[in-house]
Chain A
Amino acid sequence: MATVQLHHVTKQFGDVTAVHDFSLEIDDGEFLVLVGPSGCGKSTLLRVVAGLEEVTSGEIYIDDRLVNHVAPKDRDVAMVFQNYALYPHMNVYDNLAFGLRMRRVARDEIDRRVRQAAEILGLADLLRRRPAQLSGGQRQRVALGRAIVREPKVFLMDEPLSNLDAKLRVEMRTELARLHQRLRVTTIYVTHDQTEAMTMGSRIVVMKDGRIQQVASPLELYEQPANLFVAGFIGSPPMNFVRGTLEPRDGDLWFAAAGISIRVPGALAGATAGLGGHPIVLGVRPEDILVDPERVRVLPDHRVEALVEVVEPLGADAFVHLLAGEQRLTARVPGRVKVRVGDRLTVAPDPDRIHLFDPATEQALSRAATSP
């Protein structure tokens, strides 16, 4: 059990800055998810914490101990690699036992821990097999088991599920969550998959180009994205973005783009005050585009005329792809709603759920950005 603290950690490889001024505190027993597109520096960050790479600048503390110059084996962290990195020439038992042997744990203690981990992970019948004789999911478990038996202070997991097929991935997600409930070991979990991040993390760090974009709970990330990147990265299908300008009219500010004109709701008035004439990006999530005529009728200042281009029924929901003016929008509507291709609809973005972004800074206007 441990806390992990990163203070202004920067890691450069020659000209490439893989991690840029990264500061974060991870609580004891927390399951922290680090999410971002491929190449944004997630693996590098984990490797820096593990001690496999040295930081260029900044400090790393594990349990309040500065570990910048502590060897990987003395940091008491265990890492699950993306490609598992099992020892191919050892059977499952030896793969699990290796770390304990290296640390001179007593033989019967090793046996006890290996068998316990194997029991937890359902590997008990596979102990004599070599990695090559295991399925992807089983290898994944061995990689986890190798981390568990060590009983380390911190787990570092680098996209541990990305090599599994979709069904297994969902199963393992639950299993990992259960494992964390049981062991309560501080975990940094890396993924490029926003769904995985949303379902697993209690706190999520969104990264891009080596920089933290936002640190928040899943719901907060979804409802109050700090910038355009987070807004577009979290959520599927992604948030609709419309570029336009803010125009003062009758004492109010209006968002105007070709074929769309919407009054800026009161909640955003403060943030937009004085921005008349400025370019702006409006964001609205697919489920926040209202199509129900009853609800649209009471929003006279937010109506948008749209043509239905494509309908994708998913059962409970349907995605309706709309053309409004020159803008393509995706709306998520209840599956029962009858819409057909070619229909002309009057829709309205829910004014309580509109996001505005400054296209120059890419920051959200709706509230002060929580920069770390």
Chain B
Amino acid sequence: MGLVSQPAPYGRPAPGRQATPHAGSTTPPPAAGRGTPSPAARPLPGRRLRPAVILRHTLAWLVGLLWIVPFLGILMSALRPQAELIHGWWQLGQVTISAENFVRAWNHPTAPMGEGIRNSLLVVVPSTVLPLLIASLAAYGFLRSRARVRTPLFALIILLLAVPQQMVAIPLFRILRDLGFINSYAGLVVTHTAWALPWMIMFLRNYFATLPREVEEAALLDGAGRLQIFWHVILPLSLPGLASAAALQLTWAWNDFFMALILLYEPTRLVATQRIPLLRGQYHVDWGILTAASVLTIAVPILVFALLQRYYVRGLIGWTLK
């Protein structure tokens, strides 16, 4: 039942422990195996340097490097003057760190990134909260409803997951234009919300399904209605799932370029991702300002993930309840 205050399941192995896999073999563990055996005497099953473990770690590092190396390049090029980078950003002969590129990007005369990030936030926050609210309600309905339409409706939602964005672009533009939603954040928020609902409903339905049924039934007997159960039991128990969905949706909406491109074109209203290409410069590519803008843009999702990581990882793995 250790739901909320559960400690992380994996302790980090003590340094040096892995190198001596048979540390426990000289002193046998206490016969009972309970109590608190001294750390030195405890055998370490699963922490030995087996080939599978080595392979997994190597792969993880490779994937990590695949992400980190280009990011380092971007960071270097944003922080250092252009002249230092001619022979590659990894040349560390002379390193001058300066925030100048960031300042220039932030206050750019035609496409200031500061304004872009503010606009992005104005779009992204409601684009996350709104679908989360709707999808969690819908997901709970799909899980518990006994109506006959439930299954076909759910199948339809899964079908919607397969619709490519490019296919809906033009009809979407027309509908939103007729509704007067062009160049308005509301239009983009509605679009993001609609786009998020299918996967979020499915994700949250599956998450809710892992919650212990009896707790809900106890609430039912305690006199709670369905909405009260949803609010007082389901949602608080689903914080990790909700956090995961929020982090994914926020990143998705933040990184979106396509939808914004279709719906927003008034210069002061452009979101962050739309502004980066405008910073390129007319006659030569200004890599410094471009990369600084990229780092600024990327910072928000990274921050979100860092903040929600604790929940996020659990939410994706799911957790056992006993």
- Interaction A to B: yes
B221, A88: Cβ atoms under 8 Å? no
In the complex with contacts A131-B1, A132-B6, A85-B223 CB distance below 8 A: no
- Does any Cβ of A come within 8 Å of B5's Cβ? yes
Q: Which residue of A lies closest to B222 (CB)?
A: A99
A87, B218: Cβ atoms under 8 Å? yes
A79, B4: Cβ atoms under 8 Å? no
Q: Which residue of A lies closest to B5 (CB)?
A: A132
A81, B4: Cβ atoms under 8 Å? no
A102, B223: Cβ atoms under 8 Å? yes
Q: Across the interface, which residues of A come within 8 angstroms of B2, CB to CB?
A: 88, 132
Distance (whole angstroms) from the CB of A126 to the closest CB of chain B: 14
Measured CA separation A42–B203 after assembly (Å): 34
Interface 9-residue window, one of B131-139, B228-236, B245-253, B277-285: B228-236
Say which size band chain A's interface belongs to: 20 to 34
- Does any Cβ of A come within 8 Å of B178's Cβ? no
Name A260-296 residues within 8 Å CB distance of B.
Answer: none
- Does any Cβ of B come within 8 Å of A73's Cβ? yes
B228, A87: Cβ atoms under 8 Å? no
Q: Across the interface, which residues of A come within 8 angstroms of B214, CB to CB?
A: 81, 83, 85
- Does any Cβ of B come within 8 Å of A34's Cβ? no
- Does any Cβ of B come within 8 Å of A338's Cβ? no
Residue total for B at the interface (Cβ-Cβ under 8 A): 25
- Does any Cβ of A come within 8 Å of B212's Cβ? yes
- Does any Cβ of A come within 8 Å of B190's Cβ? no
Measured CA separation A52–B215 after assembly (Å): 12
B220, A81: Cβ atoms under 8 Å? no
Distance (whole angstroms) from the CB of B222 to the closest CB of chain A: 3
B217, A52: Cβ atoms under 8 Å? yes
Q: Across the interface, which residues of B come within 8 angstroms of A332, CB to CB?
A: none
A86, B223: Cβ atoms under 8 Å? no
Q: Across the interface, which residues of A come within 8 angstroms of B3, CB to CB?
A: 88-89, 131-132
Q: Across the interface, which residues of B come within 8 angstroms of A131, CB to CB?
A: 1, 3
**Chain A, 221-240, contact with B by CB distance < 8 Å: what is the 0/1 string?**
00000000000000000000
In the complex with contacts A88-B3, A99-B222, A132-B5, A83-B237 CB distance below 8 A: no
Which of the listed residues B2, B215, B217, B221 has the most CB atoms from chain A within 10 Å of its own CB?
B221
Contact of B223 (CB < 8 Å), options: A50, A83, A103, A139: A103
Measured CA separation A77–B221 after assembly (Å): 7
- Does any Cβ of A come within 8 Å of B143's Cβ? no
A86, B215: Cβ atoms under 8 Å? yes
Contact of A102 (CB < 8 Å), options: B215, B222, B236: B222
- Does any Cβ of A come within 8 Å of B313's Cβ? no
Distance (whole angstroms) from the CB of B16 to the closest CB of chain A: 33
Distance (whole angstroms) from the CB of B49 to the closest CB of chain A: 34
- Does any Cβ of B come within 8 Å of A370's Cβ? no
- Does any Cβ of B come within 8 Å of A150's Cβ? yes
- Does any Cβ of B come within 8 Å of A84's Cβ? yes
- Does any Cβ of A come within 8 Å of B125's Cβ? no
Name B1-18 residues within 8 Å CB distance of A.
Answer: 1-6
Measured CA separation A131–B237 after assembly (Å): 13
A130, B5: Cβ atoms under 8 Å? yes
- Does any Cβ of A come within 8 Å of B130's Cβ? no
Q: Which 3 A-B pairs have the closest CB atoms?
A: A99-B222, A88-B3, A85-B214
Q: Could you list 16 further interchain pairs (A-B, Cβ under 8 angstroms) beyond the known A52-B220, A139-B1?
A: A52-B217, A72-B217, A72-B220, A73-B222, A83-B212, A83-B214, A84-B1, A85-B212, A85-B218, A87-B218, A89-B4, A99-B221, A131-B1, A131-B3, A132-B2, A150-B222
Instruction: Enumerate chain B interface residues (CB-CB to A < 8 A).
Output: 1-6, 212, 214-215, 217-225, 228, 232-233, 236-237, 321-322
Provide 30 A-B residue pairs closer than 8 Å at the C-beta atoms, listed in order of the A residue: A52-B217, A52-B221, A77-B221, A81-B214, A81-B218, A83-B212, A83-B322, A85-B214, A86-B218, A87-B215, A87-B218, A88-B2, A88-B4, A89-B4, A89-B236, A89-B237, A98-B219, A98-B222, A98-B224, A99-B221, A103-B223, A130-B4, A131-B3, A132-B1, A132-B2, A132-B3, A132-B4, A139-B1, A146-B218, A146-B222
